Structure 1
Amino acid sequence: MEAFLVLADEMHFGRTAERLRLSQPRVSQTIRKLERRIGAPLFERTSRRVELTRLGAQLRDDLQPLYQGLTAAMDRATATARGVHGTLRVGFLGVGAGELTPTIMDGFRARHPGCEVQMRETHFSDPLGPLRAGDVDVLLTRLPVTEPDLTVGPVVLTEPRVLAVPARHPFTRRSSVSLEDLARDTVFGVTGPAPGYWWDFHVPRFTPSGRPIPRGQDISTFQELLALIAAGQGISPVAASVERYYNRPDIAFVPFEDAPDTDVAVVWRTAAGTARIRAFVQAARDAVESNGGPTRF
């Protein structure tokens, strides 16, 4: 199977032999044996080129996901047998995975008792910076994340959004608000290298109809955001969990009737997919599956 897939990728017996660390005659023998077993040619061979037959292309497309799954299963089994050791640094933004966080951590520690877990809070002024700098190995952060060097894994938390307003704001007399209502007050910008699309998703610049939303002071921490809202300097969309974990008497939270949900997912550097990171991602997937899906508020 591996020889066939590598040859289907390289289309060259010599390069295939080099990748597999086999002799070229051994690769040819293996492919001929596979073709005899199937009963038809998988490659068209000439002195100048090698190409897949239609049957060969079909077999490649069918085998590729199966082979990847098999390889991943073997990697996980090997990592479990050897044990995952060292230190895993987990970054989290806000409440992280919410109520699912302890389940993920407990599952990871139970499987890999030899690995120490360290947790570090990140801030929305630079949500991806600690990951890129190598200060954390894996991150529980709000989406969207569309960065070419980062991989987005399972969603572990999904929740509606609410509008945080000063306790005496006129919106507190309403049962709900819409995104169009944001144009009636001031929201906040953010300092730091947070991706522009990331902040614009959470605190948009325009309403759905295209009306501009006034932007006030730039902020760098969540506590600063809450302090400015309480002082009457503006309003801000936030995740619904904020009302539970950061409730205070000088701020009210009004449900949105049309804002999209906000999700938290596991994110890591694509080039740094270590055994520890893979084990943590698997623990997150297992927790989500046993929970019947991402945690919902």
Structure 2
Amino acid sequence: MERHEMEAFLTLAEELHFRRTSERLGLAQGRVSQTIRKLERHIGAPLFERTSRKVTLTPVGERLRDDLLPAYQQMRRALADAAAAARGTRGVLRVGYSSPMAAELLLKAADELSVRCPGSEVRIREIQLSDPLGPIRSGQVHLQVTELPVDEPDLAVGPVVITEDRRLLVHRDHPFARSATVTLEDLAATTLITFAAPPYWQEFHCPRQTPSGRPVPHLVAGNWQEAAAMVGAGRGVTFASARAEQYHARPDTVWLPFPHLPRIEYAPVWPRDGRTPLVEAFLQILKPVK
């Protein structure tokens, strides 16, 4: 039995309808009928009962379907595995994230990659804001979804996949918590908790001066959990994306709207010389969160 005969028979055995079978196979309906008749002549018995109302399998057809289907599915898996190996899309892809929102996005993409690229595996890990680019430069991850901006000559940046409103986190007893609005100028009256990130990232997210030129005191945290604890202890304020409150809300902390700085954006980042077929396949799956 040739492959096209096997596909025609198994598709018709599933659909039990010649028109739908021809549409699925992309063949003319007459071609499907011709293939089935040829197969029946070869076997020496009808495989289908045909009437003007319906198509059903004969007992011989049912037995052939049950015997052929496992072998056909195994053949398709083998072909898919071979194609994946040829494309270089087998193996482990290590992916980093810097926020729980990004982790959810990556887990969904990992499930899709396993379907599209049999033999692939995605392992994800959290990237600390105290060393946001260290793991990708050392090869600990092949790709990461992280806060922008990233402006490094050795790293490529993909399209934005998450965009979030900005929030200012303050202790519940902080004067800002009782203010109708908090502006950039007000930051001079407090301490802004930030991270050991590149200077351009610091300036984008945590300005050192107000618009009038007043200095904004800074305090560096080792990671996000430490920054949240420092806010809860009344040692300063910090910024976060709005949806992060779902994961990091605390009874001692108030999340205030802060539209005076750009919204926080997240995008995939990878080494410029590291866009492997597996990285490429994963990037094609990542879609912006609506």
Which 5+ residue runs of structure 1 have no aligned equivalent?
1-77, 289-293
Pair 1:152 & 2:157 matched: yes
Q: CA RMSD in A?
A: 2.0
Q: 1:167 to 1:155 in 2, by over 3 A?
A: same
Cα separation, 2, equivalents of 1:241 and 1:98? 13
Shift of residue 235 of structure 1? 0.7
Which 5+ residue runs of structure 2 have no aligned equivalent?
Answer: 1-82
Structure (1 or 2) with the larger CA radius of gyration: 2
Please tell me whether residue 201 in structure 1 is matched to residue 204 in structure 2: yes
Partner of 1:69: none
Name which of 228, 233, 236 aligns with 1:234: 236
**Given the alignment of the two structures, is residue 101 of structure 1 paired with residue 106 of structure 2, yes or no?**
yes
Would the alpha carbon gap of residues 96 and 268 (structure 1) be closer, same or farther in structure 2, given more than 3 Å must change?
farther
Moved more, 223-232 or 109-118: 109-118
Q: Deviations over 1:98-134 (max 9, x none)?
A: 6533432222222113111100111111111100000
CA distances 1:129-151 after superposition (whole Å, capped 9, x unpaired) = 10000000001110000101100
- Amino acid aligned to 2:241: A
Deviation at 1:200, TM superposition (A): 2.4
**Residue 85 of structure 1: which of 80, 87, 90 is its match?**
90
User: Aligned residue for 1:279?
Assistant: 281
Q: Which residue of 2 aligns with 1:117?
A: 122
2:260 matched residue in structure 1: 258
Deviations along 1:204-243, one digit per CA (max 9) or x if unpaired, are: 2122333211123x21111110111100101112211221
Give the deviation of 1:83 after TM superposition.
6.4
Query: Which of residues 171, 174, 177 in structure 1 aligns to 2:176?
Result: 171
Deviates more, 1:124-133 or 1:97-106: 97-106
Letter in 2 for 1:226: A
Q: Aligned partners of 2:105 and 2:134: how far apart in 1?
A: 24
- Displacement of 1:79 in angstroms is 5.5
Q: Which amino acid aligns with 1:109?
A: S
- Identity between Structure 1 and Structure 2 (%): 46
Secondary structure in 2 matching 1:100: helix
CA distance change for structure 1 residues 123 and 135 in 2, over 3 Å: closer, same or farther? Answer: same
SS of 2:273's equivalent in the other structure is helix
For residue 251 of structure 1, report the CA deviation from its aligned partner.
Answer: 0.8
Q: Deviations over 1:66-124 (max 9, x none)?
A: xxxxxxxxxxxx76974611100001112252653343222222211311110011111
Aligned to 1:244: 246
Please tell me whether the aligned partners of residues 178 and 259 of structure 1 are also in contact (alpha carbons under 8 angstroms). Answer: no
Amino acid at match of 2:251: P
TM-score, normalised by the number of residues in structure 1: 0.65
